[in-house]
């Protein structure tokens, strides 16, 4: 244990937020502006995320997932729910 014990900042944790990737390439929510698919990759603004199929355990079905790291080092991931 480090001297003084452990401390946590709430800003160190990811909090889920629903966003909409609109057909015209813009994004509603999440503080992002635009998106596009490039092969197996999803570009969100200037960040590239891996896109793959996987299991949505909450909705008990296969769906499209993505995962990546933003320019500031923040991780981002998501799933298609509709």
Contact 77, 64 (CB under 8 A): no
Distance CA 56, CA 44 (A): 21
- With cut-offs at 50, 70 and 90, classify the pLDDT of residue 37: very high
Distance CA 82, CA 80 (A): 6
pTM above 0.95, yes or no: no
State whether residue 11 is helix, strand or coil: helix
Contact 70, 77 (CB under 8 A): no
- What confidence score (pLDDT) does residue 1 get? 59
pLDDT at 30 over 70: yes
């Amino acid at each position: 244990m480090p001297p003084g014990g452990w401390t946590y900042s709430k800003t160190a944790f990811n909090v889920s937020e629903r966003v909409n990737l609109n057909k015209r390439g813009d994004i509603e929510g999440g503080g992002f502006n635009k998106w596009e698919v490039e092969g197996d990759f999803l570009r969100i603004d200037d960040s590239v995320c891996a896109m793959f199929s996987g299991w949505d355990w909450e909705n008990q079905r296969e769906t499209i997932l993505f995962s990546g790291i933003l320019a500031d080092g923040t991780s981002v991931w998501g799933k298609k729910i509709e």
